[in-house]
């Protein structure tokens, strides 16, 4: 089988490489020429365990090649970004651009699968759009089982850092615009997926993806709200959560300085935008989570009090532990807020990158390793619980004022129960 994967990002590239490893002839398509060139040299432009070796191998054997514009193929997977646009409205324009780019090459019995996170109904709209571009072919939204082209939706649900493992082992929802579309898409995925491949409709599969990430956002908001409750009641929220989680049916997540990344903080809006009246809880969760960086600012402001120009060390900048991705990071947001408020001299430390992002350099933030930053500071703000920070000797913190947004020092390291 020939397969084309449109979009060679965090999802498209590992997916393309896995299909190539399983013996398909795979063409990766990306509008970014630098990405195409690097893949064709067997190199990767993203950080992901084991992906470099796999891409190098499948490019060397000729099973995977990258191109800038699509070519004819039997199956097309669209894995392009769907960011939030203005007013928190989903922007699916890259999906439609990708559909337009493959339209000229479609022929009878070809399969088109969308993997990008999409509002419910997008797959059907894309099918309609393709039908307008190719009036010589029939599509399933109009012609059901008899359509020439098959169209389906199948969301990725992999965790960065574990992408190759989760692509293979996670169960996968596959929703077609017709039964035949579901079945053909499902049988394609069985070539890489060892988990269950579960067939449904396109609309259901679209909502499943949005539901998963909205569920996590609401649950993180619960933890963040509990942090506020505990602060008012002067109790340690990490201890409360650990003890509550001993209940066999309770599993509370961890509070933090906010929810970052490209999915959890975005996808709830894809539901909220479609059905605002039905989503008071999801909207409240977003508000709670979006308020977190401002809360951290408030804690630091209180610690600073009347002190003139204190030095403040901010530890961790990525959007979650043990990754190097600083985009959409609440930790970066906190440092920006602190810098704009000119509360003191700021030093940021992030062991997974070699320099600060431009936005922080422009604000005059210094960059140092964690121990140097702590040594120079009177206030230490822990923003990300990277494994490197586990090893910081508590004596280095003895005379520092702390804002521990992750409970590393105020609970996990100290483990001082309430009565102590
Ligand atoms: N976070 C907390 N407390 C927690 C857990 C997470 O504050 O207890 C924060 C993190 O620090 C981070 C943000 O939430 O800022 C998101 O991190 P994450 O680890 O929850 O999720 P992502 O964005 O790396 O990946 C998620 C995953 N979705 C779910 O777990 C339901 C992944 O499986 C999806 O494939 C991915 O979104 C995606 O692409 O949609």
- Contact present, 320 and 384 (Cβ < 8 Å): yes
* Per-residue confidence (pLDDT) for residue 420, from 0 to 100: 47
With the most atoms of ligand 1 within 8 angstroms of its CB, the residue from 116, 155, 244, 264 to mutate is 264
- Strand 172-176 and strand 150-153: the pairing is antiparallel
Instruction: Return the beta strands (E) in 341-382 as ranges.
Output: 345-349, 366-367, 379-382
Is 57 tagged catalytic?
no
Distance 264 CA to ligand 1 centre (A): 6
Residue of 48, 159, 226, 255 to test ligand 1 pocket, by largest number of atoms within 8 Å of CB: 159
- Residue whose CA lies nearest to ligand 1 atom number 4: 254
Is position 230 annotated as part of the catalytic site?
Answer: no
Q: What is the pLDDT of residue 170?
A: 97
Residue of minimum CA distance from atom 40 in ligand 1: 263
Whether the Cβ atoms of residue 16 and residue 26 lie closer than 8 Å to each other: yes
Q: Check whether 419 has a pLDDT greater than 70.
A: no
Ligand 1 atom index nearest CA of 256: 7
In the Cβ-directed half-sphere of 38, how many Cα atoms lie within 13 Å?
14
Confidence of residue 245 (pLDDT cuts 50, 70, 90): very high
CA distances from 389 to 114, 353, 406 (A): 40, 15, 11
Q: How many CB atoms lie within 10 A of CB 86?
A: 6
Residue nearest atom 9 in ligand 1 by C-alpha distance: 259
In this model, does residue 217 exceed pLDDT 50?
yes
Residue 283 CB neighbours (<10 A) = 14
pTM: 0.95
* Residue 409 DSSP class: I
Atom of ligand 1 nearest to the CA of 224: 7
- Ligand 1 center from residue 346 Cα (angstroms): 28
Tens-place pLDDT, residues 373-388? 999 999 999 999 999 9
Give, using CA atoms, the residue closest to atom 35 of ligand 1. Answer: 157
292-335: pLDDT as tens digits:
999 999 999 999 998 899 999 999 999 999 888 998 999 999 99
Query: Which of the residues 118, 124, 209, 320 is marked catalytic?
Result: 209
387 Cα: distance to centroid of ligand 1 (angstroms): 17
Q: How many whole angstroms from 200 Cα to the centroid of ligand 1? A: 25
Report the atom number in ligand 1 closest to the C-alpha of 253: 8
Atom number in ligand 1 closest to CA 117: 40
Q: Which residues contact 249 (CB under 8 A, 6 or more apart)?
A: none
Find the catalytic residue in 118, 124, 237, 263: 263
Of 57-61, 209-213, 323-327, which gets the smallest average pLDDT? 323-327
Mean pLDDT of 102-127: 98
Q: Which two tokens stand for residue 129?
A: 């759009």
Work out which ligand 1 atom sits closest to the CA atom of 323. Answer: 24
How confident is the model at residue 47, as a pLDDT? 79
User: Cβ(178)–Cβ(147) under 8 Å?
Assistant: yes
Given the CA of residue 258, which atom of ligand 1 is nearest to it? 7
Q: How many CB atoms lie within 10 A of CB 295?
A: 20
Kindly state the average pLDDT of the residues 86-109: 97
Mean pLDDT on 63-89: 97
d(C-alpha 64, C-alpha 34), whole Å: 16
208 Cα–ligand 1 center, Å: 16
Ligand 1 centre to CA of 214 (Å) is 10
Q: Is the pLDDT at 36 greater than 70, yes or no?
A: yes
Q: Name every residue whose Cβ is closer than 8 Å to that of residue 298 and which is 6 or more positions away in sequence.
A: none
Whether the per-residue pLDDT at 415 is higher than 90: the answer is: no
As a whole number of angstroms, the distance between CA 296 and CA 231 comes to 13
- Residues 6+ away with beta carbon under 8 Å from 301: 341, 343
Question: Pocket around ligand 1: residues whose beta carbon is below 6 Å from it?
Answer: 156-160, 212-213, 216, 220, 253-254, 256, 259-261, 263-264, 319-320
Q: CB within 8 A of 159, min separation 6: which ones? A: 166
Contact between 81 and 118 (Cβ < 8 Å): no
3-state SS class at 120: coil
Residue nearest to atom 37 of ligand 1 (CA): 263
* Coil vs helix vs strand at 319: coil
Under 8 Å between Cβ of 173 and 210: no
Map out the domains of the chain with their CATH numbers: 2-195 (3.40.50.720), 212-412 (3.40.50.720)
């Amino acid at each position: 089988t020939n397969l084309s994967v449109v979009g060679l990002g965090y999802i498209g590239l590992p997916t393309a490489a896995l299909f190539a490893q399983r013996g398909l002839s795979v063409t990766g398509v990306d509008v970014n020429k630098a990405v195409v060139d690097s893949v064709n040299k067997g190199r990767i432009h993203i950080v992901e365990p084991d992906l470099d070796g796999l891409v190098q191998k499948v490019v060397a054997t000729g099973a995977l090649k990258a191109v800038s514009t699509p070519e004819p193929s039997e199956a097309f997977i669209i894995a392009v970004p769907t960011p939030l646009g203005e007013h928190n409205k989903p922007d699916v324009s890259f999906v439609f651009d990708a559909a337009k780019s493959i339209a000229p090459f479609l022929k009878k019995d070809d399969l088109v699968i969308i993997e990008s996170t999409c509002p419910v109904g997008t797959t059907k709209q894309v099918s309609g759009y393709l039908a307008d571009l190719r009036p010589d072919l029939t599509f399933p939204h109009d012609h059901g089982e008899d359509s020439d082209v098959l169209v389906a939706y199948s969301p990725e649900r992999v965790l960065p850092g574990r992408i190759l493992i989760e692509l293979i082992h996670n169960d996968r929802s596959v929703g077609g615009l017709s039964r035949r579309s579901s079945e053909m898409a499902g049988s394609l995925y069985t070539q890489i997926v060892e988990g269950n491949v579960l067939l449904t409709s396109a609309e259901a599969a679209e909502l499943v993806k949005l539901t998963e990430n909205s569920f996590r956002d609401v649950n993180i908001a619960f933890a963040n709200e509990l942090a506020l409750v505990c602060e008012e009641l002067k109790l340690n929220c990490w201890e409360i959560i650990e003890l509550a989680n001993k209940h066999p049916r309770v599993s509370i997540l961890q509070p933090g300085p906010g929810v970052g990344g490209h999915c959890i903080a975005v996808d709830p809006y894809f539901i909220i935008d479609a059905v605002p009246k039905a989503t008071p809880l999801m909207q409240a969760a977003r508000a709670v989570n979006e308020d977190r960086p401002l809360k951290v600012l408030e804690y630091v402001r209180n610690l600073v009090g009347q002190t003139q120009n204190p030095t403040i060390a901010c530890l961790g900048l990525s959007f979650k532990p043990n990754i190097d991705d600083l985009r959409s990071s609440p930790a970066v947001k906190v440092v920006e807020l602190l810098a704009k408020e000119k509360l003191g001299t700021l030093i940021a430390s992030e062991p997974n990158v070699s320099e600060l992002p431009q936005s922080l350099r422009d604000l005059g933030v210094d960059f140092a390793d964690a121990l140097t930053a702590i040594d120079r500071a009177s206030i230490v703000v822990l923003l990300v619980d990277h494994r490197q920070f586990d090893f910081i000797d508590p004596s280095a913190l003895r005379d520092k004022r702390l804002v521990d947004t992750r409970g590393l020092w105020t609970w996990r390291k100290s483990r001082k129960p309430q009565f102590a």
